Structure 1
Amino acid sequence: MLLHMISNDYIKRNLSLGWPLALNALLMQSMLMIDTLLVSPLGEVSLAAMGIATTIVSFILGIQMALANGTQLVMSRAVGSGSKVKLANAYWSGMLINLAVAILFWLLLIWLEQDLILWLTDNNTLYVEIGAYLDVAKYLVLFTAITQVITAMFNALGSSKIPFKSYLIELPINAFASYFLIHGVHEWQGLGVVGAAIGSVIAMTLRMLFLSVCLRYQQDLNLSFSSKLPAFISNIKLHFVEIFPVAANVTMLSIGATIYQLLYSQLSINAYAAITVLMPWIRGGTQFITSWAHASAITISQAIGSKKLDNLIDDVNISIKMAVVLSVISCGLFWGLSVVIADIYPGLNPETYLALAAIAPLYILLPFIRGYNTVHGHILRALGKTTAVFKINFTGQWLISIPLCGLLILYFDASIFWAFAVMPFEEAVKALPFRYLARKTLTEFDQQQAEKLI
């Protein structure tokens, strides 16, 4: 009876923490979709320029988010320990690391912007528009470094609703500001693609101010810097060693996803169009599973910080079972998508619909296997196994699945079914190592291991 009550409390706490995380991710993705929608009336050239420029910026922002997620685990342990000094050290270490990386990327965008654009396109019109967008959008990199770490702090404190509110402020401001700056008003013609970048910077700045004010007035939170410099430098080094594999993991997976897209572009135009249509749904449809995994990692990190390990194995088992339940629900939603996708995208070529039908069993199954791996990966990071998670992902994706996908498409001229099947196959390859490592780590995890992490 007591165990049942503890399980219910754990699930309620994680769901309360997880649903704002999921909506945060969906709202963040919708910002790019809104900007793309607003730019689309300007024509294909502006739309293509927007697509290329935002791909560059999104890649950098993804790395910053990964660093913040690593910091989030360290701060969660500090919250669990109840030590205000440890929490302040984790916050400032994470902030300095993220800002240093942001400044590095900002400088690279200044120095290498022209070479990068020339590498991506030889169209002079595109070159001008991409350059104009990046001249403004590069400031997003600096502001995001701050907002991501503050967001990680609120998540670690269990106050994930505050970042959610910040997105509710940012999204409409971004939409309205971008619309008027892109298209103008009355006799003013607007700024075109550059207007979308300025609108995003305005909205991000206001979000950063909102989060900073909320952090300033957060009850029972003291982030004043009190550590001696040598101790703080040592803390930064340890912090970086832990969070770097998280960022490397996300970067590796992002580059791998891009290579998948390049390989799929070698299929027929209808097959590639089918995969292009599906990808945003696949990314968005797994957000609730990912957010549950994030919430589980935060809760487990807090337990490690407080050295309350009695229910650790039970909590991990509950996290995995709930992830499976959410994955099954996600599979059901993807089955529903397969039924109505022709109504959502009317007017496509009949061969594109045939391609979508051919891979329907695969994209319906994909969330189940991916959800299982996602929760294991986040739990292992919470247990300090960030490097091991990187190795499993690297082996499954880069040493097995991407070469296999290239072989199937480029050498055997495989159909879309077998080409797309590599994605669920990659997740299946990683599932057993993830499970084995999680069980082994939990068996060996004790107070001494917790002390090392803290």
Structure 2
Amino acid sequence: MSQALLGNRNVFSLAWPIAINAILLQFILVIDTVLITPLGEESLAAMGLAASVAGILVGLLMAFSNGTQLVVAQAFGAKSPLALSLSFRSGAVINAMIACAGILFIFIFGKSLISLISDKPLMIEMSYDYLKIFSVVVFGVSVSQNITVYFNATGRSRIPMYANFLELPINVAVSVVLIYGLLGFTEMGLEGAAVGSAVAVSSRALFLVVFYSKQQAKQIPFDAPALTVTNVKDHARHATPIAGTFISSILAAGVCMMIYAKLSTNEFAALVLIAPWIKVAGHLSTAWGQSTGILAGQLLGNKDWPLLDGFVSRSWRAAFVVATVISIAYISMFFLFEALYPELEEETLNALWLFAPILGVTPFIRTSNTICGHVLRAGGDAKYVLKIHAYTQWFVIVPLSALFVLYWDLHVVWVFALTLLEEIIKSVPFHLRMYSDSWKKNLVTA
């Protein structure tokens, strides 16, 4: 197995389906923004407000799933069917608990939370109606994401990609029909976009469940022992520090988006519009980092210590090619905005163009930081990664966001520039840690 994990070609083979998978997932929100834009800036802002709340719940699921992914990768590298079984099932239990708690939160506290963020009655009602329907998406993600990371960690990242190829056209078709009331259906507006996403994600979850049930015997024995509370706690002990990094990022982003809601409608709409596009291109570097982390975890699980440093170094250097592609993609997308969003007001488009120089530089620093983060987590140094992210986000970015928007009333371009500042601050401790060997630990004992 070791020799097969040494080249960038192997990273690419694993990374490109993960990247496409992530991009297709992000297109759920992109599709909604494109289809909702003709309804006006208020509908677009209402969806962004709901997404800031829903994004926290989905982010929690993604976070713990990423923790599961690296534990499963080491179990796969260690050739331990028992560890594979326990890791997968423990991850499923944790995701189910998060989803149930999140859905209860939406229905009990969702409207009150939105009311704290916005003082516009119509926007509050539209956001909450969208959020209630979006709770179905939360449940679908809890199921599909656990299966997705299992396939990624065992080197079969194309399967989740196929599931998303199924989801995308369903999302488009159902959303268009329900938003605008085609084919005899009632015109639902913003709620129609939520229903389209819910139907599409449910379809993806069903596809993955069926496929996993047919394929599980190849890696996980049917006679695996029953899952215990101790197994779940042990998995959570490994996964929680890994997930903590993602949780901190999602929560900080959610808080910042709530702060940004106090900007003018045009400025907030510009941030809502560009956010999914940034994530779409950024998933290329995330996929490369995830793949490097997965393969590094497999090497660690198989105790291929001497080969690890050379593999990580080659993958790291190749990541700068990925960063160049992302930078070009960022700059190119600004020329598409007028064609994609002809209904946008001039003030919103002008705000978008001011973001271009920042996005041209950010990918190079962010991509290197991403490689560091995933490799450090794969080696068991997740707590250190969590500290870097949490300290930067909560002690620098969130306070500055509040100052820029709530007190200094700065232009939105200064608010957006905080994304670059965040990556610069993180880069120093990340790269210093990578040059040490203290992060190389085992996560699998079974």
Tell me, yes or no, whether TM beats 0.5.
Answer: yes
Query: Structure 1 residue aligned with 2:154, among 154, 157, 161?
Result: 157
RMSD of aligned Cα (Å): 3.3
Q: Structure 1 CA distance, aligned partners of 2:267 and 2:244? A: 31
1:110 aligns with 2:102: no
Listed as ranges, the matches of 1:116-131 within 5 Å are: 116-131=113-128
Could you say if the C-alpha distance between residues 307 and 412 of structure 1 is closer, same or farther in structure 2, counting changes exceeding 3 Å? same
Listed as ranges, the matches of 1:54-93 within 5 Å are: 54-93=51-90
Could you say if the C-alpha distance between residues 53 and 356 of structure 1 is closer, same or farther in structure 2, counting changes exceeding 3 Å? closer
Task: Identify the range of structure 1 (414-423 vs 395-404) with the bigger mean alpha-carbon deviation.
Answer: 414-423
1:368 aligns with 2:355: no
Report the counterpart of residue 318 of structure 1 in structure 2: 314
Deviation at 1:53, TM superposition (A): 2.9
Task: Identify the range of structure 1 (278-287 vs 165-174) with the bigger mean alpha-carbon deviation.
Answer: 278-287
Report the counterpart of residue 182 of structure 1 in structure 2: 179
* 1:219-240 C-alpha deviation (Å, 9 max, x unpaired): 62325363355xx322211211
Query: Structure 2 residue aligned with 1:200, among 197, 201, 208?
Result: 197
* 1:63-90 C-alpha deviation (Å, 9 max, x unpaired): 1011111101111111111111110100
Query: Structure 2 residue aligned with 1:284, among 260, 263, 280?
Result: 280
Could you say if the C-alpha distance between residues 72 and 192 of structure 1 is closer, same or farther in structure 2, counting changes exceeding 3 Å? same
Deviation at 1:143, TM superposition (A): 2.0
Could you say if the C-alpha distance between residues 135 and 260 of structure 1 is closer, same or farther in structure 2, counting changes exceeding 3 Å? closer
1:307 aligns with 2:303: yes
Report the counterpart of residue 326 of structure 2 in structure 1: 330
Deviation at 1:256, TM superposition (A): 2.6
Superposition TM-score, scaled by structure 1 size: 0.85
1:224 aligns with 2:222: yes
Report the counterpart of residue 17 of structure 1 in structure 2: 14
Task: Identify the range of structure 1 (30-39 vs 429-438) with the bigger mean alpha-carbon deviation.
Answer: 30-39
Superposition TM-score, scaled by structure 2 size: 0.86
Task: Give unmatched runs, 5+ long, in structure 2.
Answer: none
Q: Structure 1 CA distance, aligned partners of 2:417 and 2:129? A: 40
Is the 8 Å Cα contact of residues 286 and 330 (structure 1) preserved in structure 2?
Answer: yes
Is the 8 Å Cα contact of residues 87 and 223 (structure 1) preserved in structure 2?
Answer: no
1:251 aligns with 2:243: no
Report the counterpart of residue 382 of structure 1 in structure 2: 378
Could you say if the C-alpha distance between residues 101 and 361 of structure 1 is closer, same or farther in structure 2, counting changes exceeding 3 Å? same
User: SS of the counterpart of 1:320?
Assistant: helix
Report the residue type matching 1:330 in the other structure.
Answer: I
Deviation at 1:385, TM superposition (A): 1.2
Task: Identify the range of structure 1 (394-403 vs 165-174) with the bigger mean alpha-carbon deviation.
Answer: 394-403
Q: Structure 2 CA distance, aligned partners of 1:349 and 1:175? A: 25
Report the counterpart of residue 433 of structure 1 in structure 2: 429
Number of equivalenced pairs: 444
Report the residue type matching 2:108 in the other structure.
Answer: W
Task: Identify the range of structure 1 (99-108 vs 48-57) with the bigger mean alpha-carbon deviation.
Answer: 48-57
Deviation at 1:371, TM superposition (A): 0.8
Q: Structure 2 CA distance, aligned partners of 1:25 and 1:169? A: 14
Deviation at 1:132, TM superposition (A): 3.6
Task: Identify the range of structure 1 (422-431 vs 85-94) with the bigger mean alpha-carbon deviation.
Answer: 422-431
User: SS of the counterpart of 2:305?
Assistant: coil
Report the residue type matching 1:152 in the other structure.
Answer: V
Report the residue type matching 2:225 in the other structure.
Answer: S
Is the 8 Å Cα contact of residues 12 and 288 (structure 2) preserved in structure 1?
Answer: yes
Is the 8 Å Cα contact of residues 359 and 416 (structure 1) preserved in structure 2?
Answer: no
Task: Identify the range of structure 1 (183-192 vs 208-217) with the bigger mean alpha-carbon deviation.
Answer: 183-192
Could you say if the C-alpha distance between residues 93 and 53 of structure 1 is closer, same or farther in structure 2, counting changes exceeding 3 Å? same
Is the 8 Å Cα contact of residues 384 and 453 (structure 1) preserved in structure 2?
Answer: no
Q: Structure 2 CA distance, aligned partners of 1:176 and 1:344? A: 18
Q: Structure 1 CA distance, aligned partners of 2:348 and 2:192? A: 35
Report the residue type matching 2:314 in the other structure.
Answer: I
User: SS of the counterpart of 2:306?
Assistant: coil
Deviation at 1:188, TM superposition (A): 4.3
Could you say if the C-alpha distance between residues 451 and 372 of structure 1 is closer, same or farther in structure 2, counting changes exceeding 3 Å? closer
- Ranked by relative contact order (alpha carbons within 8 Å, sequence separation 6 or more), the top structure is 2
Report the counterpart of residue 212 of structure 2 in structure 1: 215
Could you say if the C-alpha distance between residues 337 and 128 of structure 1 is closer, same or farther in structure 2, counting changes exceeding 3 Å? closer
Could you say if the C-alpha distance between residues 182 and 337 of structure 1 is closer, same or farther in structure 2, counting changes exceeding 3 Å? closer
Q: Structure 2 CA distance, aligned partners of 1:100 and 1:142? A: 10
1:450 aligns with 2:428: no
Q: Structure 2 CA distance, aligned partners of 1:423 and 1:157? A: 33
Deviation at 1:155, TM superposition (A): 0.5
Q: Structure 1 CA distance, aligned partners of 2:364 and 2:161? A: 26
Report the counterpart of residue 233 of structure 1 in structure 2: 229
Task: Identify the range of structure 1 (332-341 vs 138-147) with the bigger mean alpha-carbon deviation.
Answer: 332-341
Task: Identify the range of structure 1 (425-434 vs 75-84) with the bigger mean alpha-carbon deviation.
Answer: 425-434
Task: Identify the range of structure 1 (118-127 vs 411-420) with the bigger mean alpha-carbon deviation.
Answer: 411-420
Report the residue type matching 2:33 in the other structure.
Answer: T
Could you say if the C-alpha distance between residues 187 and 361 of structure 1 is closer, same or farther in structure 2, counting changes exceeding 3 Å? closer
Could you say if the C-alpha distance between residues 342 and 453 of structure 1 is closer, same or farther in structure 2, counting changes exceeding 3 Å? farther
Q: Structure 2 CA distance, aligned partners of 1:344 and 1:192? A: 19
Q: Structure 2 CA distance, aligned partners of 1:418 and 1:77? A: 42
Deviation at 1:243, TM superposition (A): 1.7
Deviation at 1:386, TM superposition (A): 1.3
User: SS of the counterpart of 1:311?
Assistant: helix
Deviation at 1:242, TM superposition (A): 2.0
1:28 aligns with 2:25: yes
Percentage of pairs with the same residue: 34
Report the residue type matching 1:221 in the other structure.
Answer: Q
Deviation at 1:103, TM superposition (A): 0.9
Q: Structure 2 CA distance, aligned partners of 1:44 and 1:403? A: 27
Is the 8 Å Cα contact of residues 151 and 160 (structure 2) preserved in structure 1?
Answer: yes
Q: Structure 2 CA distance, aligned partners of 1:341 and 1:36? A: 12
Is the 8 Å Cα contact of residues 256 and 397 (structure 1) preserved in structure 2?
Answer: yes
